[in-house]
Amino acid sequence: MPSIANSPAELQQLLEGTISYEEGNVKIEDENKLRDSVIDDLIYTAVFSENEETKEEAKKIIRDVANELGAVASSINDLYRAMARGETRDFTTPAINIRGMTYDVARQIFKVALKHDVGAFIFEIAKSEIGYTFQRPSEYTSAVLAAAIKEGYKGPVFIQGDHFQFNAKNYEKDPEAELNAIKDLTEEAIKAGFYNIDIDPSTLVDYSKSTLKEQQYHNYLNTAKMTKFIREIEPEGITVSIGGEIGHIGGKNSTVEEFEAFMEGYLENIPENMEGISKISVQTGTAHGGIPLPDGTVAKVKLDFNVLRDIGKVAREKYNLGGTVQHGASTLPDELFHKFPNNNCCEIHLATGFQNIMYDLIPEDFRNKIYNWIKENLKNEWKEGWTEEQFIYKTRKKGFGPFKYEWWTLDKEYKDKILEALYNKFEFLFDQLAVFNTKEYTDKYIKLVKLPYQK
């Protein structure tokens, strides 16, 4: 069990003989000891210390060490521009949402990347997940970079704010307040090393309007406002990769015409010489987390690859975007994943399928403990007509935050089974999405900019 420092003095004791500072610069005195145990102590301290000052110091040290060893928080923007120009082969970047056991799960992803020379892969966390998993951006970045240090990964580390989404009801009441809330979260995320941000005002699309451009008005206007804000605050040397979205609501698949209406309005509202979005999320018929049936299994989805292909073609050829983005995909059948790279899909977001593996393999008493907590504390989310299995499936994602320490400190027997299953799943998906041997592209197009930790 790693040690957790609860004071700056205790933290210094843990670092003795391993990490020191000379004139403000980090010095690694014993890299083997660092990887063997000290990095475990650092991340457990950053996440679980009872002392905020000690937590912050641990996060700073992790960032400094990661930079020193060459695991550098980066933007994927330039890779997607190269993809748009046809300078890469076809592949689909997996963007993986980690809701629990973040340090250990991220280690499995880096292991796959190192084994197969993968450069194109993203760690992400959505606005909603930040809340219910109790992982602020600085903690999430620290866990991912600590995992890179542990596994000896060197290269760009792409960390993404997923679904920084506008709440339609809040926006209707006070548009400026909702915009400022998204700005505040975005600034916090960028300071933490999230140099990839997916902005989502597609919740504001109004299908009652008569023209496509009018329907997309609040979507493109706020995407433009957030683009300008991000360009104002992004660190020197970094061009944050920004994603847009057109298909969150409406219960129908996105069209090329909707995309072009969105882009027309968007480009009218940012300066001509400003770097805009690098990709576009669309609706293809999937749902986040899948659709649970009364017995708790997940309904099969008919996914329209033509949406990805057709919008992606226009996105690349007309607007210099990397392509389309597929959400809600981790519960799709395995036999579909090989199709994404050949349909202009530059990125795919994966979350719930990994959560399902974790819940399937934890001890029964721990699972029951979480489920009982959910039934007691989240019963107001039980929708009319749902069976208990449907209710649990839709809400158990909220069992990661309150039980974070228990997830991180599972008995080795159970943790090893979970991590082996996740490793195998990551390896399969990375193969199907054709990102093996993509390090040559990240080496070529991604410049490493080593920035210090910011509170």
Question: Tens of pLDDT along 78-127?
Answer: 999 999 999 999 999 999 999 999 999 999 999 999 999 999 999 999 99
Q: What was the pLDDT predicted at 285? A: 72
Is pLDDT at 296 greater than 60 in this prediction?
no
Residue 455 pLDDT grade (very low, low, confident, very high; cuts 50, 70, 90): confident
pLDDT tens digits along 230-269: 999 999 999 999 999 997 655 789 999 999 999 999 999 9
If pLDDT is split at 50, 70 and 90, which confidence band does 76 have? very high
Give domain status of residue 410, yes or no: no
Other beta carbons within 10 Å of 323: 29
Q: Based on the fold, state whether residues 62 and 107 are members of the same structural domain.
A: no
Same domain, 115 and 42: no
Residue 347's H or E segment, with its range, is: strand 345-350
* Domain containing residue 391: 362-405
Summarize pLDDT for 31-44 with one digit per residue, the tens: 999 999 999 999 99
Is residue 3 situated within a structural domain? no
Amino acid 332: pLDDT:
84
Same domain? 354 vs 385: no
Same domain, yes or no: 155 and 296:
yes
Average pLDDT value for residue range 50-58 = 98
| DSSP letter for each residue of 98-114 | --SSHHHHHHHHHHHHH
Same domain, 381 and 273: no
**Least confident interval from 101-115, 217-231, 277-291:** 277-291
Based on the structure, what is the number of domains in the chain? 3
Look up residue 298 and give its DSSP letter: B
pLDDT at 248: 65
At 291, the pLDDT band (50, 70, 90 cuts) reads low
Does residue 2 form part of some domain?
A: no
**CATH classification at residue 83:** 3.20.20.70
Q: What's the average model confidence in pLDDT over 351-373?
A: 95
pLDDT at 194 over 80: yes
pLDDT number for residue 119: 98
pLDDT exceeding 70 applies to what percent of the chain?
95
Stronger pLDDT, 181 or 298, i.e. the higher one: 181
Q: Is residue 452 one of the residues assigned to a domain?
A: no
Residue 333 has a pLDDT of 86
Mean pLDDT value of segment 19-38: 96
In this predicted structure, what is the pLDDT of residue 223? 98
Backbone angles phi, psi at 155, to 5 degrees: 135, -175
Please state, in angstroms and rounded to a whole number, the distance separating the CA atoms of residues 286 and 367.
Answer: 27
The pLDDT, as a whole number, for residue 352 is 85
On the question of pLDDT at 299 being above 70, the answer is no
pLDDT at 290 over 70: no
> Do 299 and 388 fall within a single domain?
no
- Measured between alpha carbons, how far is 57 from 7 in angstroms, rounded to an integer? 10
Contact by Cβ (8 Å): 99, 129: yes
Helical segments of 192-255, H only = 212-215, 217-233
For residue 96, is it within any domain? yes
> 292 or 257, which is more confident?
257
Residues 55 and 42 placed together within one structural domain of the fold: yes
Q: Same structural domain for residues 44 and 109? A: no
Lowest mean pLDDT: which of 143-157, 219-233, 242-256? 242-256
The answer to whether position 412 is within a domain reads: no
In a domain? residue 173? yes
Whether 39 and 95 map to the same domain: the answer is no
The answer to whether residue 200 sits within a structural domain is yes
One domain, residues 267 and 298: yes
Report how far residue 197's alpha carbon sits from residue 135's, in angstroms, rounded to the nearest whole number.
16
What is the rounded average pLDDT for all residues in the chain?
A: 94
Q: Which residues pair with 123 in a beta bridge?
A: 96, 159
Q: Residue 95 has what pLDDT? A: 97
Question: Do 94 and 226 fall into the same domain?
Answer: yes
> What mean pLDDT comes out for the span 180-200?
98
- DSSP annotation of 292: B
**Is residue 282 classed as helix, strand or coil in its secondary structure?**
strand
Cα–Cα distance, 316 to 349 (Å, whole number): 20
Q: Residue 297's pLDDT is what?
A: 55
Mapped onto helix, strand or coil, the DSSP state of residue 328 is coil
Q: Which of 31, 50, 69 is the last residue of a domain?
A: 69
Specify whether 28 is located in the same domain as 111: no
